[in-house]
């Protein structure tokens, strides 16, 4: 995974390339994540529900949500945007 850009730790942007058959075990992040595959079809499991994410579609994964990527059909190029939890606007 390559860190593309970081701005004041409010957000992180990654580009990731994976070969066909890539697998990532169940995990979670402290930040919310926007998962955006540019090529390849990915299968994501979250809360036991399989989600097929085709290219040029996005999947929102809230912070602290367990998820796994058990397979990637074909080589996959994915952009990941991780956002820090926003502070309350209340005084």
Give this prediction's pTM.
0.80
pLDDT exceeds 60 at position 78: yes
Question: In three state form, how does the secondary structure of the chain look?
Answer: CEEEEEECCCEEEEEEEECCCCCEEEECCCCEEEEEEEEEEEEEEECCEEEEECCCCCEEECCCCCEEEEEEEEEEEEEEEEECCCCCCCC
pLDDT for the residue numbered 67? 96
pLDDT exceeds 50 at position 88: no
pLDDT for the residue numbered 3? 56
pLDDT exceeds 50 at position 91: no
């Amino acid at each position: 995974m390559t860190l593309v850009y970081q701005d004041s730790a409010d957000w992180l942007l990654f580009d990731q390339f994976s070969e066909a058959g890539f697998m990532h075990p169940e995990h979670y992040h402290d930040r919310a994540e926007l998962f955006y595959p540019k090529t390849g079809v990915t299968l994501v499991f979250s809360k036991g529900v399989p989600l097929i994410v085709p290219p040029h579609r996005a999947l929102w994964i809230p912070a602290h949500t367990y998820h796994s990527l058990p397979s990637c059909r074909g080589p996959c190029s994915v952009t990941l945007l991780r956002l820090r939890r926003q502070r309350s606007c209340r005084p």
